[in-house]
Each structure stands twice: as structure tokens, then as C-alpha cells.
């Protein structure tokens, strides 16, 4: 099966590619030469870029931001991120980045990510994203629409 790159994949496609539940949103891509390090596998820092690319598609799909109107878009701050590297990826490998919101609080949410290639888990990650006021200092309460999307689409739970 030829996967479309940088396009949201449906759940049946994710499952057919070895991506397990509860992941229901993902997108595929291919390792490019500029992503390699001196050991000829994907440089660790590239995974963070992949997660960011995924996160933008996720936020658009979930109605959190369309990134079209700079003045109206939410102020989202990546508070923390951790990555666990499990298996290397090499030039031309096709991979799927998937993720979901695992939990939410009043002003932030925790996303978990995974990278799969040929059904093999290659990396996992967890990130905390905070919604801020335009002053970039004051936290802002998550709108009910965000919470509903996280709960209904991802099964996220409140971590009060």
C-alpha cells in the first residue's frame, strides 16, 4: 500500500500499518537525506520536528487553530517534551507519526506521540502544551471545545 505523505490517515489505514489503538490520528512521511546524522540514521533532533509537524496537523484537525489568522490564533507554548528512542530509522524508511491527547488540566494538556515504521515502534514522546494569554505570562483556561475534542476523539482524562 502506498501511503500519502503529510496527510491525515484514517484509523483503518493506521491499523493496517501496525499502529495500535488508542492512536486514531497520524500521518506518514519518508526519511530524507538531510535528516541523517554521522551514523547514517535519523538524527535525534529530527523527531522533535516531526512531532511539531504532526502537532500542527492535529491542532488543525481538532479545530484548535487553523494557523491562518495570526491575531486570532491561540497562544500555545510547548512547556516540556521528552523522547524515548527505541529503534533507528534510515534513509528512505517510511514512517508514521501518530499522537493523541492523553490528559488535560485547566490550562494545559499532555500529548503522547509515537513513530512507527513497518509496524515497529521506533520512538515515543510526551509533551505538555499550555494555553496562554497574549502576554505570554498568564495561563488561559482551556475552552470547552478543546476539552470536548480531547475527550471525545482521544479519550483524554482530566488530571486536575
Instruction: Of 4-8, 72-76, 100-104, 140-144, give the lowest mean pLDDT range.
Output: 72-76
- Predicted TM-score (pTM) of this structure: 0.94
**Per-residue confidence band for 72, with pLDDT thresholds at 50, 70 and 90:** confident
Residue 11 pLDDT > 80: yes
**Per-residue confidence band for 63, with pLDDT thresholds at 50, 70 and 90:** very high
Average pLDDT over residues 89-108: 98
Average pLDDT over residues 29-57: 97
Which one, of 82, 91, 87, 85, lies nearest residue 120 by Cα? 87
CA angle 98, 104, 107 (to 5 degrees): 120
CATH no., domain 8-158: 3.10.129.10
Please report the pLDDT score of residue 158 as a whole number.
Answer: 98
Q: Please tell me what DSSP assigns to residue 137.
A: S
HSE at residue 44, side-chain half, CA atoms within 13 A, is 6
Percent of the chain scoring above 70 in pLDDT: 100
Please report the pLDDT score of residue 67 as a whole number.
Answer: 85
pLDDT digits (tens, 9 = 90+) for 99-133: 999 999 999 999 999 999 999 999 999 999 999 99
Per-domain residue ranges for the chain? 8-158
Please report the pLDDT score of residue 144 as a whole number.
Answer: 98
- Per DSSP, the chain holds a count of helices (H) and strands (E) of 3, 7
Amino acid at each position: 500500500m502506498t501511503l500519502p505523505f503529510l496527510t491525515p490517515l484514517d484509523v483503518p489505514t493506521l491499523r493496517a500499518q501496525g499502529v495500535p489503538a488508542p492512536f486514531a490520528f497520524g500521518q506518514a512521511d519518508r526519511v530524507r537525506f538531510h535528516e541523517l546524522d554521522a551514523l547514517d540514521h535519523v538524527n535525534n533532533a529530527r523527531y522533535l520536528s516531526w512531532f511539531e509537524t504532526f502537532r500542527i496537523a492535529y491542532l488543525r484537525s481538532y479545530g484548535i487553530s487553523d494557523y491562518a489568522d495570526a491575531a486570532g490564533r491561540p497562544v500555545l507554548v510547548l512547556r516540556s517534551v521528552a523522547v524515548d528512542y527505541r529503534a533507528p530509522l534510515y534513509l528512505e524508511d517510511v514512517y508514521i507519526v501518530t499522537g493523541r491527547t492523553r490528559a488535560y488540566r485547566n490550562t494545559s494538556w499532555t500529548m503522547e506521540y509515537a513513530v512507527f515504521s513497518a509496524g515497529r515502534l521506533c520512538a515515543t514522546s510526551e509533551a505538555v502544551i499550555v494555553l496562554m494569554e497574549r502576554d505570554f505570562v498568564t495561563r488561559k483556561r482551556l475552552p470547552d471545545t478543546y476539552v470536548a475534542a480531547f475527550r471525545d476523539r482521544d479519550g483524554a482524562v482530566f488530571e486536575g
